[in-house]
Structure 1
């Protein structure tokens, strides 16, 4: 009789190593207040890691620590003054060395001084943040996104960018540049899987106006938007592949009016609206 041979236990198949999904990372400028802060909170809540840029290092550090503890994400502070070349260069370097899925160019400013009373230095300061920094950071982020065939850029503009509705102010001109720049660049990179959105909110509750010394006390409450709602609208429109986002139906109607109203009538409306909102600084 043949002695049966004991079956050799077969080793269980080795568990297939599963790669953890790559965490998405976003860089947000002007991140400690207003729309920028709302973007940071929303993205952290959605599980994004963050690199946040602002001038106030102490405030930025505190905010990053709070986001990290609350949402269990990596929130890294990058203190930089985007009105200076060295400040922009430090952010450019970070954008080139790390694979960011989203860049939010939110930092911006306005001057509470009409052009005739302003100085060249003040106007260059406005342009350095509202125009030059947006251009340079977009230029730094895009090559990597195009190579990866994935990426998103949100450039925060303004409803004011659709027409010269603020007599004496060069703020609308800077924001008009952001709109057209975003649309043009977006058209050129769409075939590479990259989206560029110009976000154009109206008056939004933030520190923006108080920092510029602009008295908004006469502005009707119904004109104000809440920053989290602005962010929600922007992300929805980005997901839909739109190139321009105007949050709130009232501002959508206003933009339609601004785009199709004869120039003479629009100028008359602008002068009247400026007085009614207490912003007649001429």
Structure 2
């Protein structure tokens, strides 16, 4: 991998995107720390990759909705050998806010927002101290399409996109690269776990997980801040960014904008 050596810590590594990242990173010569709840599946993956690549692989069973488990992974990120964080663990809801209660909402926020934020912060501090490292946050194209599907899931992914852009701006000159990956619908177990049928989508709507990760890694090697594997026209993303940045000088003013003054004075 371009300019990255050492150890990659991958969350949600027992299946799907995380497991494919583990495969690709091991084949690029990085040692691995695999993190997920399902230790048996991770051990099977680790055994295969050790045999195929010879890299060192550590397996840590952890539930990233649990504060103590997140703290353990924060501590592991602080070790000198870790140079890459793949912040991948996440979940979706079965239904919307109308069908879910406080426990379900708290769980998705814990896993999709609180845990990756804490891990990104821990990694950032460790990487800045040694002036090298990279943080990859797996967000979603739904961060750009809040009207589609469930707003809670897309909101958590918009948070990761925002966090990634801020980290990129703040850490780039300190030797730390940050990438947000925005997959579209991808064929992983997240659909079944959230009560959805991925096969209900049109066949050309769902990307294979291997293709998704390979594209994301190409974006990594190119040092993209935002990688959107299904988007054919990069100019659309660039135009959106340009429009957003053009608003920046007008987003905070000492006076109400003229278009609101009548409403304020009458």
Pairwise same-fold verdict (TM > 0.5): yes
Q: The TM-score by the shorter chain falls in which range?
A: 0.7 to 0.9
Q: How many residues align?
A: 239
Answering whether residue 100 of structure 2 is matched by residue 118 of structure 1, we say yes
Residue pairs, 1:123-138, within 5 angstroms: 123-138=105-120
**Cα deviation, residue 174, structure 1:** 0.5
**Structure 1 unaligned runs (5+)?**
1-21, 261-282
CA contact (8 A) 1:163 1:258 kept: no
CA distance in 2, matches of 1:258, 1:191: 25
Counterpart of 1:49 (choices 25, 28, 31) is 31
Quote the Cα distance in structure 2 between the aligned partners of 1:241 and 1:23: 15
Q: Distance in 2 between matches of 1:245 and 1:69?
A: 31
1:171 matched to which residue of 2? Answer: 153
**56, 62, 79: which one pairs with 1:74?**
56
With structure 1 as the length reference, what TM-score do the two structures score? 0.79
> Looking at CA atoms only, which structure, 1 or 2, has the larger radius of gyration?
1
Per-residue deviation at 1:167? 4.5
Q: Aligned in 2, Cα 1:169/1:112: closer, same or farther, shift over 3 Å?
A: farther
Give the unaligned 5+ runs of structure 2. 243-266
Alpha-carbon distance in structure 1 between the residues aligned to 2:217 and 2:68: 30
Aligned-residue offset at 1:181: 0.6
Give the CA RMSD over aligned residues.
2.2
Equivalent residues of 2:84, 2:135 under 8 A apart = yes
Find the aligned partners of 2:239 and 2:126 in 1 and give their Cα distance.
39
Residue matched to 1:60: 42
Distance 2:210 2:229 in 1: 11
Counterpart in 2 of 1:102?
84
Structure 1 residues 258 and 165, CA gap change in structure 2 (3 angstroms): farther
Question: Over residues 130-184 of structure 1, what are the superposed CA-to-partner deviations in whole Å (9 max), with x where a residue is unaligned?
Answer: 0001100011111121122111110000001112133444100000000011100
Structure-2 separation of matches of 1:257 and 1:170: 26
Q: CA deviation at 1:62?
A: 1.8
